[in-house]
Structure 1
Amino acid sequence: MTTYPLENLVQTRWQNTFDRLNGGEPGITGLLNISQAWNTAREFLRPRDIREPNSKERNLPVVKTCFDALNEAKLLPRLLETFVEDIRQQESLITAEVSSFMAKYDESEDVTVVKSMLRRLVEWWKAWAPIHELGYTLLSTFNLEFQTHLFSILPSSFPSAFKKLCQSTVGAEPDAQLWGDFERLGLLDRYENLIASVCYEQIEGQVLETCVGRWNEPMLAGLRGWMADKIVPWMILPYARGAKTHEETRSMLQGIGSRFDFHVCKTLCDLRTSEIFDIIVDYPDSNCALLDLKECLQRVDQRSQLVQALRRLNRKRLLHPGADTKDILTQYVLMIRCLRIIDPPGVLLYKVADPVRRYLRERPDTIRSIVASLVGEGGDLVDENEPIQPLQTQFEDYSDPNWEPEAIDAGPEFRTNKPSDVISTLVSIYDSKDLFVKELQVLLAQRLLAIKDGNFEKERQNIEILKLRFGDAALQVCEVMLRDMTDSRRIDQHVQSQKASNLHPTIISKHFWPALQASTLNMPGQFKTIQQTYAKEFTTFKPDKRLRWLPHLGTVELSIELQDRTVEVEVSPLDAAIIELFGSGGKTAWNSQEIIAELGDIDNSSLNKAMMTWIDRGVLFDRGDGTYEVLEIATSAVKAARPPAPKRPAAQPEAPPVVTVQQQEAEQMRVYWKFIEGMLTNLGSLPLDRIQTMLKFAPGYSRTIEQLGTFMEAARREGLVTESGGQYRLNK
């Protein structure tokens, strides 16, 4: 039951509403005018089927008057709601059109079908859209409703179809109407990323098509030129349609253009990163690719990806037992040169080189390969155009006016002033250059002892160059070795002038040369006599010195006279000693045991190799019971019994058996084994660092803990010790 005050309030509000709608007109005249304005406005906005004749009222002054009246009566919000409802009742017409067009596209995948569909949708949009004179609110409400419905009915195949349509416009004649249709339908905002992906894919396709494997010419500038000629004109329609001047266009394209240029650099950087190992192999022909990569890295922060990729490729293609040490060193040197081009401060090189340096330290022939390159035997490790300079060490020059802070991605152990030349970098793989000096001495000894013509000029030049790198003090022993060779030639000339001899020995100073492999070979017959005669003349010339023969070294030229032929050969001293036995004392048949007893403790492999030398040359014949005899006459029966001997060149002198640095160190470590054995006997199990600390008290001990670890690992493999949790214990 209502009360009087409530009835009074309702009556008052009703009267106010009626007065507002009636507009102060007599009776209900104003109300009738509002009703007519409503009907006129709604009929004007009502969406119609464009397939039917268009009868929409276009008397704009009348329509505008109706909208003003509704606005004054505050009925526009209600009109908007009615307009939206009318649109929704007609949306099925658009749904049918879209379904029909997309069905055709799914069958043919022809992008012109999609293009026709979008133009048809624009016709619907134009037919239903309110005119601009009616205000922004009405138009924006219509756009929201139209686009919402459109996006809800587009099938899942539409994005790919729309992308193909956008791709078809790249490089084609600009179609401003098409992009205007995209904007009207809201597709530019809806598929902004998809439109950008068209450009991204064009860039990626261009990079892969033109840049793969082409490292001998700059590519980045060409890609940017291609962007300016083909992509930038295409970008104007989707990203700068509203520009009216050149400056305005450039301003509108600046942001998106920067994104696309970034993608050019990123794509090229990704490609060169995947090719980086082969680019390094191809250096210096690939210098242009390195410069492009350097510029790309300044634009794209992918330094860590480059490091990871190169380290992964190094592990896969370089750091494995199947790779030769010289090849690893060559690749490492090329890596140094290439990464210094990409990153002059050396941060990338420091991060990439560390696994390579650790792996090279574990290879036993690394030092020898580096040293061989220093004396002209190591391939391309040393650049002839690179100035020769002393070995550099790491230091931090705080007084340098050009000092720059370290790169942001530099590790805590990185130092900017690393050795700059390649040789210093290679030597810095190890903690001390003494190992290289010792290896230099061994290699120089081998090269000097292999020279027959007495021309030592090349070795003298090498020593002078090495003195610039390692210093005079480190090369004093090498100078003594070189002087021994010249003195040996002079001494031999003097001895020959006193008493001619067929023997031309190389006389060296024992204490200044690396140890040579010892031998128990006793030269028999005339060879022994020649040695004794030469030694006597030498003692006469040098009364304070004595010769200690190393008869297993060198070569011997022989002329062997048999009954039906003469054999002239150049063989090793062991080969000559064996054939001398067969030619002295009238004994023409010897077995292996008799030869070993006569010549000394010779291992069976060396003896068998020497016997095969003479069998192959048809001088000796194996009777089958381990006894050999001279083949004085090469009868046809013997030839038939023995396969024909292959033609072999004159015996080449093998490398002098100089004891290598590794062999010397191994022999010295065996001396310290007694100390280690005593420690483990008295103290039980010990860790490696404790053993190293106690060994430092042993006289002459100067090994690093890494070298000690290598020795202990060898002792473990031999069964001398056992290792558990880093503790070593004697194996009982």
Structure 2
Amino acid sequence: MAASMEVVNGAWDLATKFISPWNTEVHIGCEQNNFESATNILCDNGLLNLLEDWFFEEVQQDLRQRVSPAFWKFFEGLVPQDSVADKSEQNIVCLLQATEYLHKISEEYKPCIQLLESLPREINRNYSMLAFCGVNKISDVVRILFKSVVFTRASREFRDCVGQFYAQAFSVFHCVEHDETVNDDEESTKCSGCKHDKNDCACQHIMQRFNSINAKLDEVGVLEQVSGTSVTALVHEQILQHVENTCQGNFETAYLSSLQNWLENKVLGWLKLVYSLDRTNIGSDCIEGFKGRLIHFLLETYANVQISQLFKIIIEFPESELAIMDLKYCLEKVDMRSHLVTTLKSSLETRLLHPGVNTSDILTAYISAIRALRALDPAGVILELVCDPVRKYLRSREDTVRCIVSNLIDDASNELLEELVKSQPLIDETTHNEEEDGDWKKWMPDPVDADPATASKSRRASDIISMLVNIYGSKELFVNEYRTLLADRILTNFNYEIEKEIRYLELLKLRFGESQMHFCEVMLKDVADSKRINTRISEERIQKGEERTVDVNAMILSAQFWPTFREEKITLPEHMQKLLEEYTKRYETQKGNRTLDWKSHLGLVNIDVELKDRILNFNVTPVHAAIIMQFQEQERWTVEELSTVLQVPATALRRKIAYWQSQGLLKEEQTDTFLLVEEHKGRSHDSIVAEDEEAESAMASSHAKTGEELQVFWTYIVGMLSNLESLPLERIHGVLRMFAMEGVSGEITIDEVKHFLDNKVKDQSLIYSGGVYRLPKSS
């Protein structure tokens, strides 16, 4: 039978008196029996749930009106963290006092909570506060109320106090727990943990206070609420500092293993102390979850540090291979490929791709990038994305091909020579078959950032030389550049010893094919034949007993197989010309129906210059020899007179005379008038041997060769423009490519066509207007 309203009201008043958070009195004895009787009456009338709800409402009101203002008052007027360093202890003391206050309030609530938890449970609790909060205990709901009511806000002073508290504890923990002794540094008077004088070391006190505060915050249920942000920020800061201090600037050591050990022992060891595993509210699952996030952050931080200095790592490869392997592991765990590509592209463009850097230095960096990025990403996708601007920039430089070919056959440059010795066939990106020699069992998909237009196998298999050749997409261009360079080496050095050149040629034949290197084979054969013919002519002269005043050795070349020579007019002195004619007759005697067409400006002349006080020996070009020999006829010459006699333009003649001026043999008396210096005071009378320092190429320039070849197509260009009136550059280049690809210099680029057409515009043979070329009306 339901009790009367007065009885129920009396039971309610008595029960709420016992569980009121405002009431700090302790009720014992018979009054406890009265509480049980009152709660029985409430239970019989279905009001027990309301008693719990009333308690939670009172707790919220108490926390909001009394506890929260008192708690935050502890932090009013404190010194911010970034101001006075020695005030941090005062701030931490305030945090200790505030924590003890919260813990005191929590202890005051415990008797009420225990009374409520001792009451019988009702069947329908779906709409109770416990169900709403997802917990089973009233004490758990109170902890939630502490978090949600007291910590609805957090002042800067509070955050600073918490940050100082955990930073201090972190420093002391590392000193006490992981160093054998706090006072291990004899030179310092300060403790490395607490920063106090060693005689007043407070590390032990700090650790005791640290454990006490954490324990009390945990009992109240707000440890995560108070520590979470500060601990996370502190740990991240420590990881960042440790990674930078450990790994910055050193690329020859693998750091990931030691960094992960440091994280496990130092950082997680401290976190386990913060969230002590012997307490029930926060367990090992929390630490393990935090561990996974910290490992991810460690890998991300390490990757960021390595990416920021990746340009240096690439330049120092292969010494930096361990750093590359560490970064490769990080990229497998952390999604930072896009950041790496963007950062490295920017570094390459800033440091390499500008006129202030030599082409050879760009190539060296590019080769290092190929090797390093292949190790970092075997699929070749990062290499393709990062180095595309480098390839385009190298394509725009005129001396790129020459630098590549020079490095291929340069003993001093071992990088490309090592690749050449591997004798792999050249891989052409434009013709590579994706399905050739495929092993489906070893197939791996490309990364998501790969260009689907590029063959996967080509990207993975291309070696360094293939990638360099594919900068232009034409191996004919490289073969012709090698042919030009080979000709220049032969004619500049004037050396018949070609064993090394034959070795290079055989290696290049394995790369580019027999047919591509046929012209070069003939060139080396010409050198060997020239040596044999010179020997035979010399022996024939000896057999006839002819006097050998001057030896003439010729380099006899098959003109159709050699590149275009640099043209230079010169009329040699009669004595020199007679020697060449005699050699020609002897050659015709041996070869019958063949003769020689001399390139008088090429070659090397060894001459002795006999002066009054000394004899000098020189190895110079025929032009230089012809100039100094004219001073046998008379001691003083004007540039105009020499130009008339030698048939050399005055501008070129002045440049050649400058060499003899630098040797002290000629003196400019007045403008363009030169005098032979027979005596030189202070100079030794001993013989002096001098080389011609003006190392001028024997080959025609690339523009000259291209212009010569394009001149062949000039009639065709005129015909096109006559029929179609006007054409843009791209259309003209597209039509000419079909013809130019068959030329001796390989495929002619659009820039070369533009240079040729612009010269025609300067000569008034063409008109350029509105982006198109047309013939002049008078034509």
TM-score bracket for this pair, using the shorter chain length: 0.7 to 0.9
Task: State which of 134, 145, 158 in structure 1 corresponds to 2:116.
Answer: 134
Instruction: Report Cα offsets for 1:620-666 as digits up to 9, x if no partner.
Output: 34331533333445589xx9xxxxxxx99432472541124553223
TM-fit CA distance, 1:236: 3.0
Q: 1:106 to 1:67 in 2, by over 3 A?
A: farther
Mapping 1:308-319, distance limit 5 Å: 308-319=342-353
Tell me the SS of whatever aligns to 2:606: strand
The code of the aligned residue for 2:382 comes to L
Mapping 1:605-644, distance limit 5 Å: 605-633=651-679
The code of the aligned residue for 2:427 comes to Q
CA distance in 2, matches of 1:72, 1:148: 33
List gaps (5 residues or longer) in structure 1.
1-15, 23-27, 49-53, 640-646
Q: 1:153 to 1:493 in 2, by over 3 A?
A: closer
The code of the aligned residue for 2:565 comes to L
CA distance in 1, matches of 2:113, 2:98: 23
TM-fit CA distance, 1:530: 1.7
Task: State which of 79, 88, 96 in structure 2 corresponds to 1:106.
Answer: 79
TM-fit CA distance, 1:678: 3.9
Q: Are positions 1:346 and 2:380 aligned together?
A: yes
Q: Paired residue for 2:167? A: 167
CA distance in 2, matches of 1:457, 1:676: 45
Contact conserved, 1:41 with 1:63, CA < 8 A, in 2? no
Q: 1:573 to 1:155 in 2, by over 3 A?
A: same
Task: State which of 688, 692, 708 in structure 1 corresponds to 2:750.
Answer: 708
TM-fit CA distance, 1:431: 2.1
Q: Which moved more, 1:515-524 or 1:154-163?
A: 154-163
Contact conserved, 2:163 with 2:231, CA < 8 A, in 1? yes
CA distance in 1, matches of 2:280, 2:109: 29
Mapping 1:39-54, distance limit 5 Å: 39=14, 41-47=16-22
CA distance in 2, matches of 1:696, 1:188: 73
Mapping 1:320-399, distance limit 5 Å: 320-376=354-410, 379-382=413-416, 384=418, 387-393=422-428, 394-397=432-435, 399=438
Q: 1:70 to 1:305 in 2, by over 3 A?
A: same
Q: 1:618 to 1:387 in 2, by over 3 A?
A: closer
Instruction: Report Cα offsets for 1:457-481 as digits up to 9, x if no partner.
Output: 1111111111111122222221211
Contact conserved, 1:41 with 1:67, CA < 8 A, in 2? no
Q: 1:343 to 1:131 in 2, by over 3 A?
A: same
TM-fit CA distance, 1:78: 5.9
Instruction: Report Cα offsets for 1:519-559 as digits up to 9, x if no partner.
Output: 22011132122222222222222222212122222232222
Q: Paired residue for 1:236? A: 272
TM-fit CA distance, 1:267: 1.0
Q: Paired residue for 2:67? A: 94
Q: 1:700 to 1:82 in 2, by over 3 A?
A: closer
Q: Paired residue for 1:668? A: 709
Contact conserved, 2:567 with 2:700, CA < 8 A, in 1? no
Tell me the SS of whatever aligns to 1:492: helix
Q: Paired residue for 2:728? A: 687
Q: Which moved more, 1:519-528 or 1:183-192?
A: 183-192
Task: State which of 532, 553, 557 in structure 2 corresponds to 1:490.
Answer: 532
The code of the aligned residue for 2:99 comes to L
CA distance in 2, matches of 1:40, 1:621: 124
Task: State which of 588, 594, 599 in structure 2 corresponds to 1:545.
Answer: 594
Mapping 1:54-93, distance limit 5 Å: 55-58=25-28, 63-76=35-48, 77=50, 80-81=53-54, 84-85=57-58, 88=61, 93=66
Mapping 1:172-571, distance limit 5 Å: 172=173, 177-183=212-218, 184-189=220-225, 192-236=228-272, 241=277, 251-376=285-410, 379-382=413-416, 384=418, 387-393=422-428, 394-397=432-435, 399-401=438-440, 402-418=442-458, 419-452=461-494, 454-499=496-541, 500=548, 501-571=550-620
CA distance in 1, matches of 2:147, 2:635: 113
Q: Paired residue for 1:20? A: 3
CA distance in 2, matches of 1:260, 1:223: 12
Tell me the SS of whatever aligns to 1:103: coil
Q: TM-score, normalised by structure 2?
A: 0.80
Q: 1:558 to 1:375 in 2, by over 3 A?
A: same
Q: Paired residue for 2:636? A: 589
Q: Are positions 1:579 and 2:628 aligned together?
A: yes
Q: Paired residue for 1:598? A: 645
CA distance in 1, matches of 2:59, 2:275: 34
Tell me the SS of whatever aligns to 2:249: coil
Instruction: Report Cα offsets for 1:7-33 as digits up to 9, x if no partner.
Output: xxxxxxxxx9xx5247xxxxx7x46xx
Identical aligned residues as a percent? 28
CA distance in 2, matches of 1:447, 1:710: 25
CA distance in 2, matches of 1:588, 1:205: 78
CA distance in 2, matches of 1:651, 1:553: 13
Instruction: Report Cα offsets for 1:209-256 as digits up to 9, x if no partner.
Output: 2111221111111111111101222333566746789xx965554332
CA distance in 2, matches of 1:360, 1:635: 52
CA distance in 1, matches of 2:11, 2:734: 109
Contact conserved, 2:147 with 2:225, CA < 8 A, in 1? no
Contact conserved, 2:256 with 2:326, CA < 8 A, in 1? yes
The code of the aligned residue for 2:453 comes to E
List gaps (5 residues or longer) in structure 2.
81-86, 118-135, 174-206, 542-547
Contact conserved, 2:601 with 2:621, CA < 8 A, in 1? yes
CA distance in 2, matches of 1:527, 1:326: 40
Contact conserved, 1:105 with 1:114, CA < 8 A, in 2? no
Q: Which moved more, 1:660-669 or 1:309-318?
A: 660-669
Q: 1:241 to 1:722 in 2, by over 3 A?
A: farther
The code of the aligned residue for 1:56 comes to V
TM-fit CA distance, 1:411: 1.8
Contact conserved, 1:555 with 1:653, CA < 8 A, in 2? no
Name the Cα RMSD after superposition.
Answer: 3.4
Instruction: Report Cα offsets for 1:168-187 as digits up to 9, x if no partner.
Output: 44362595543343332435
CA distance in 1, matches of 2:411, 2:724: 49
CA distance in 2, matches of 1:559, 1:95: 106
The code of the aligned residue for 1:411 comes to D
Instruction: Report Cα offsets for 1:268-324 as digits up to 9, x if no partner.
Output: 111111111111011111111110111001101111111111111111111122221
The code of the aligned residue for 1:20 comes to A
Q: Which moved more, 1:285-294 or 1:71-80?
A: 71-80
Q: 1:299 to 1:699 in 2, by over 3 A?
A: closer
CA distance in 1, matches of 2:356, 2:740: 40
Q: 1:264 to 1:61 in 2, by over 3 A?
A: farther
Q: Which moved more, 1:549-558 or 1:613-622?
A: 613-622
CA distance in 1, matches of 2:140, 2:279: 23
Tell me the SS of whatever aligns to 1:320: coil
Q: 1:667 to 1:83 in 2, by over 3 A?
A: closer
Contact conserved, 1:488 with 1:506, CA < 8 A, in 2? yes
The code of the aligned residue for 2:10 comes to S
Contact conserved, 2:325 with 2:376, CA < 8 A, in 1? yes
Q: Paired residue for 2:101? A: 120
CA distance in 2, matches of 1:706, 1:124: 88
Larger Rg: 1
Instruction: Report Cα offsets for 1:392-430 as digits up to 9, x if no partner.
Output: 232212642322333222222122212432111211222
